[in-house]
Amino acid sequence: MNKDRSATVIPAYCQGSDDLEAIVEKAADNSGISPAAMIRLLDSPAPALLEKLFAAARRQRDRHFGNFVFLYGFLYISTHCRNRCSFCFYRRTNTRAIRYRKTRAEILESSRLLARSGVHLIDLTAGEDPRFFTDDENGFDPVIGIVQSIRAETGLPVMASVGVVPDTILDRLAAAGADWYACYQETHNRQLFDQLRVGQSFEARCRSKVAAKARGMLVEEGLLCGVGETSRDLVHSFDAMSRLGADQVRAMTFVPQAGTPMHDQPPSSSLRELIAIALMRIVFPDRLIPASLDVDGLAGLKQRLDAGANVVTSLVPPGRGLAGVARSALDIEDGRRTVEGIAPTLRTCGLQPATDDQYRNWIVERKRTACLPDRRMATAC
């Protein structure tokens, strides 16, 4: 089935046009925009034009989702990792990183708190924890059991973001009730990937998402902005997301992390992320696109929603000793990254949380209609 491939078709009127403003205005009513136009918008963001771009993205969002947004509870269950990603605070060799492994009881209690607060999904995130990634075939038993328990106790969908796992573990995650598998490529520029994800396989990371789709799981793909990528790289990634048939697509601004090889890289403006969100909304009008609280906290939420995002991610219960990713402590313990904390911003944007049924129905319909990945994705992105 290949139904939703049409969401990325580039209309003829976008080809070779020099009138960028007209292209943006038409994009409000017709999904698609040319690669050349996207590159120009990323390279030369004129404020007046960007306002039109963001308005076009919101119009596409409203057409497909109305004024409803989905809310994701976030649980970083283990900050141990076997990898040496140059950008990540939790890379194996970073002695400054705070390490913990949350117990099953702690994870379930946090999940119950999030469920009572009104989130629609529990996002279980971990590094590639050596305790799971062992030669013991039962190494992932704790994760599988946690997924099963969260589904049983909260009834909420679960997203598993635990790294590149064997196909047998994907089988078990799907059987345990995980609806989502998240595994970010960060970039589809292979040279840059090698610099960011040191010693890891580009192809293996691609294949893990293809394998998850083959098992009926929904897949989230993600990009980093501000790590040395070009605008052409971002547009190439949009194409790779399309070929994957990604169900949720995201962009996040890189935040330099103490104790990492990239710690002294100048911080980037979030503007590039906002433009990427808007372009993804136009290219993928019916997909889920997150506004993460992990980069700028509550202060950056309105901008991301105004750019066309329709999911608020990284909602974290305070008082549980949980960390974020890009900014490990931002807005967590003061309760600003909660459903109650974001409510005023949603109202200001004219948005409201969807019901549980609306989110579950979206999952059911997406699984029914989503296409399988392009066959090229089985070997490379």
Given the structure tokens 């030669």, which residue do they identify? 135
Decide if pLDDT at 207 tops 70: yes
pLDDT band at 375 (very low <50, low <70, confident <90, very high): low
Decide if pLDDT at 11 tops 80: no
Q: Are 315 and 269 in contact (CB under 8 A)?
A: no
Q: What is the pLDDT of residue 378?
A: 54
In terms of pLDDT, which residue wins out, 4 or 320? 320
Give me the mean pLDDT over the 362-374 stretch: 91
- pLDDT tens figures, 65-108: 999 999 999 999 999 999 999 999 999 999 999 999 999 999 99
User: Per mean pLDDT, which range of 9-13, 193-197, 342-346, 355-359 is the poorest?
Assistant: 9-13
Strands 68-78 and 121-126: parallel
Q: What is the pLDDT of residue 13?
A: 32
**What's the CA gap between 214 and 360, in Å, rounded?**
20
User: Per mean pLDDT, which range of 128-137, 143-152, 357-366 is the poorest?
Assistant: 128-137
Decide if pLDDT at 6 tops 70: no
Decide if pLDDT at 217 tops 90: yes
Backbone angles phi, psi at 150, to 5 degrees: -65, -45
Q: What SS3 state is found at 84?
A: coil
Q: Are 283 and 31 in contact (CB under 8 A)?
A: yes
Q: What is the pLDDT of residue 377?
A: 64
Q: Are 256 and 267 in contact (CB under 8 A)?
A: yes
Among 97, 142, 155, 59, which residue's Cα sits nearest to residue 324? 97
Q: What is the pLDDT of residue 16?
A: 39
Provide the token pair at 306.
Answer: 């105004």
Q: What is the pLDDT of residue 278?
A: 98
- In this prediction the pTM is 0.93
Q: What is the pLDDT of residue 3?
A: 40
**How many whole angstroms from its chain centre is CA 197?**
17
Decide if pLDDT at 327 tops 50: yes
- pLDDT tens figures, 20-74: 999 999 999 987 899 999 999 999 889 999 999 999 999 999 999 999 999 999 9
* Gyration radius (Cα) of the chain, Å: 19
User: Per mean pLDDT, which range of 24-38, 175-189, 245-259, 339-353 is the poorest?
Assistant: 24-38
Decide if pLDDT at 292 tops 70: yes
Among 14, 43, 19, 52, which residue's Cα sits nearest to residue 30? 14
User: Per mean pLDDT, which range of 134-143, 291-300, 366-375 is the poorest?
Assistant: 366-375
pLDDT band at 158 (very low <50, low <70, confident <90, very high): very high
